[in-house]
Structure 1
Amino acid sequence: MASAQDVQSLLRFLSQDAKVPLAQALGKVKDLQAAKLVTASDLAKSDFGSLKKIFNDDKVARQVLNAAKRVSKKRTSSDTSAPVPSPKKAKPVYGQPLNGTEMEASLALPDSIMDEETLSATVLYTNRAPLVLAFAVTLIKYTMPEQPISSRLSLAQAVTSMNSKAKAIHVGLDSGQAAEDEGWGEGQPLIRIMTRDIRVMKRWGYEWEGEADSPQNILKLSQGTLVEEKVEGPALWGIDLEALKKANQPGAHGLNKGSLNQLPIYTAQSARAYLMKAFETPKAEGVKVEDEVPAKAKAKRAANNAAEKEHNLGLLLGALELLYQSWAHVLSKEDLDKRAWGWYVRVRPDVAHGAAGWGGKGNVNLSDILKLRRPAG
């Protein structure tokens, strides 16, 4: 049976490479799985008649077959370590809003790469904020497994933004108090993530289809023993308290501190886009970008850079998955959350102290993340 990652990859191929409307692609996943056609390579080796039978449309079947052959040929004739970039934001289908299942599929992050040899040799170049975001979005998968990816991204962005705001005040780049310290959002539910108390809004009535192999469907009782667990509870949004405060400044048409109407939230799409572009590969000393990349079309160079960053994100997520997996069956969710901030601090990039280091970038060795895992035995 295909994994959730296989399904996500198949949906990306159908909607992006083959240009099949997402709603139609979602309806054909089971048929493709039954025919054992779950990758571009599988589809490239199939015949037109088989695809026509599944899609019931000559044009769409031809689109899928041609796209599969094109993608497979490209992957075998060039370095395929970096996947094709995913879309930066969810798009409506035929002018209609995405439903829950479609929205969650559109927000999928790159597949986690968990090959330890590869991870141990990988160094990324980034600044601190997106690293906090990556730590938090992966952590929430284990501490709040009932939350869909849209909520995990929103909540993780809340942690990241609040931390950045506090840091800016501490180093003197921002004056005054943070919105949460002034009581904005008072009355809204509070949850704690990586030492931060986050004001949230419950998304009552939101329905989505959970990932088959997500921790929300699995409870690890002891090593090697798995049972299904039904987790109840509404999806959440992280409330953007700074935006709420700004909307209530003199002259602004805003909201009151605890209003439930039109509360500003941290959007999943912006958090995902931030992650997708944040993790670079360190440049060799003395090598300039123009020396490293031949004079080619600007669009092609940008696409290559985007693909590389997406691949790097997959590597980082893989290292974080291995870290949290090693502790998840021995620590409570609360203790796992408490430790996450300390783990981040130990591997974050070195930057100058104070205001001089604001936004500064540095190297992150994924081997350092792997060293934080629980010792075997």
Structure 2
Amino acid sequence: MASAGDLQALLRFLSQDAKVPLAQAMGKIKELQAAKLNTASNLAGANVDRLKTIFEDDKIARQVLNAAKRVSKKRRSSESSASVPAPPPKKAKPVYGQPLSPAEFEASLALPEAERDETTLMGAVVYTNRAPLVLAFAVTLLKYTMPEQPISSRLSLAQAVTSMNSKTKAVHIGIDREKAAEDEGWGKGQPLIKVMTRELRVMKRWGYEWEEPATQSTFDSSTQETLASPQATLAHEYAAKPPALWGVDLEALKKASAPNITTSNRSSLSDLPIYTAQSARAYLIKAFDTPPDRKVVTSKKQTAKMTSAEKERNLGLLLGALELLYESWANVLSKEDMDKRAWGWYVRVRPDVATGAAGWGGKGNVKLADILELRRPSDTVKAEAG
């Protein structure tokens, strides 16, 4: 059985060397151990197709394999004085097309359509581990507590909650012995917000406009006079709509500022590492499977495309149940109170796993009926109960 030190080393390799988001790395620990790929050396000798079956993403699989080869090569070099020929320089990858506009970028991050049919949801069950469930709870919560934020910001902030919670848990159960960056004061000076009662350091995305601006005809004559200058127009827009936010990745900031990192590579306040919306979305899309005992057995082999579609469908089911939950309380609770309750709701429905390190990355069933039962009772139900 792997020791806490082995788990810590593997987790550190995945999150720091291979740049796999911490929450996603945690969810893959058990599968890697079962496949006897629990060291950089073992991973370096693996076939990329084998890694793809675990990480379910070609880019991440190659990212892990390349990092493992790089780390293993560095270790061999340090153990031997023999010179090793440098690998041939990689060809620069061509960039096709033009950068996305803000509106196009936001559209590219859309999540699967939420299924809101209660009959369908009451019988639905998804199979997952805890980290992506936190992510789903948080990103849906933000639709109701911070509706002014674009989907890119909601994904980034939700990933911040998930990763920071995972880090705290890893430290608590002894898998990670390094103190959390937030507890060491990293990111001081950056604005603070709360999501699911957790304080997050954020970066304001001043000037980011992801929606089409209102036409001049929408303003009355007095407003047009007030907004005569560009400066006044800008001030009015900022006053009317808060800036979009990014969640700051404090662990990445801490690592980039380590003593062994050259000054030119260190992050500054003008170049803070953030939790990217693309990574958070990719994690959500692939995290919700069908329980093994509910999978439909067919004569055809399940293709990767079919599996992906099934997981997206499951995510849509989960998002629908969460939306119905939050909507039932939205007109009763303040945004602050809803934020406070969200963590408790998550705890009541999260999958059951073993305690401590044994349950790290463990998966289980989440019954969507349990989420629906957390909704606010209707006045009719209250009257009948009375």
Confirm or deny a common fold (TM above 0.5): yes
- Deviations along 1:149-201, one digit per CA (max 9) or x if unpaired, are 00000000000000000000000000131001101101000001112100000
Gaps of 5+ in 1: 1-87, 211-229
Aligned residues: 262
Taking the aligned partners of 2:207 and 2:332, their CA distance within structure 1 comes to: 34
Q: TM-score, structure 2 length as denominator? A: 0.65
Contact 1:146–1:231, Cα closer than 8 Å, also in 2: no
Contact 1:125–1:279, Cα closer than 8 Å, also in 2: yes
Taking the aligned partners of 1:316 and 1:93, their CA distance within structure 2 comes to: 36
Contact 2:256–2:267, Cα closer than 8 Å, also in 1: no
User: Match of 2:143, as an amino acid?
Assistant: K
The match for 1:185 is: 187
Taking the aligned partners of 1:147 and 1:168, their CA distance within structure 2 comes to: 30
Mapping for residues 127-206 of structure 1, pairs under 5 Å = 127-206=129-208
What value does the CA root-mean-square deviation take over the aligned residues?
Answer: 2.4
Gaps of 5+ in 2: 1-58, 60-93, 213-238, 380-386
- Deviations along 1:210-261, one digit per CA (max 9) or x if unpaired, are 8xxxxxxxxxxxxxxxxxxx95110000000000001111211368999422
Label 1:256 to 1:329 Cα distance change in 2 as closer, same or farther (>3 A): farther
Taking the aligned partners of 2:154 and 2:263, their CA distance within structure 1 comes to: 27
Taking the aligned partners of 1:325 and 1:311, their CA distance within structure 2 comes to: 21
Q: Equivalent of 1:320, from 299, 319, 322?
A: 322
Residue 284 (structure 1) shift: 1.5
Mapping for residues 285-364 of structure 1, pairs under 5 Å = 292-294=297-299, 296=301, 301-364=303-366
SS at match of 1:112: coil
Label 1:206 to 1:341 Cα distance change in 2 as closer, same or farther (>3 A): same
Taking the aligned partners of 1:322 and 1:254, their CA distance within structure 2 comes to: 49
Mapping for residues 32-111 of structure 1, pairs under 5 Å = 95-111=97-113
Contact 1:153–1:268, Cα closer than 8 Å, also in 2: yes
Label 1:258 to 1:186 Cα distance change in 2 as closer, same or farther (>3 A): farther
Q: TM-score, structure 1 length as denominator? A: 0.66
Contact 2:256–2:265, Cα closer than 8 Å, also in 1: no
Residue 94 (structure 1) shift: 5.5
Taking the aligned partners of 1:255 and 1:280, their CA distance within structure 2 comes to: 43
SS at match of 2:303: helix
Label 1:347 to 1:146 Cα distance change in 2 as closer, same or farther (>3 A): same
Residue 294 (structure 1) shift: 3.8
Higher helix share: 2
The match for 1:232 is: 241
Q: Equivalent of 1:242, from 247, 251, 273?
A: 251
Label 1:355 to 1:102 Cα distance change in 2 as closer, same or farther (>3 A): same
User: Match of 1:105, as an amino acid?
Assistant: A
Residue 102 (structure 1) shift: 0.1
Taking the aligned partners of 2:335 and 2:266, their CA distance within structure 1 comes to: 31
Residue 275 (structure 1) shift: 0.2
Contact 2:115–2:319, Cα closer than 8 Å, also in 1: yes
Over 2 Å off, 4+ runs:
253-259, 291-296
Contact 2:206–2:243, Cα closer than 8 Å, also in 1: yes
SS at match of 1:126: strand
Instruction: Point out the structure with max Rg over C-alpha.
Output: 2
User: Match of 1:302, as an amino acid?
Assistant: A
Please say if 1:273 is aligned against 2:279. no
Taking the aligned partners of 1:182 and 1:163, their CA distance within structure 2 comes to: 15
Equivalent pairs: percent with the same residue? 73
Taking the aligned partners of 1:196 and 1:204, their CA distance within structure 2 comes to: 23
Contact 1:166–1:178, Cα closer than 8 Å, also in 2: yes
* Range with greater deviation from structure 2 (95-104 or 361-370): 95-104
Taking the aligned partners of 1:347 and 1:257, their CA distance within structure 2 comes to: 41
Contact 1:124–1:282, Cα closer than 8 Å, also in 2: yes
The match for 1:253 is: 262
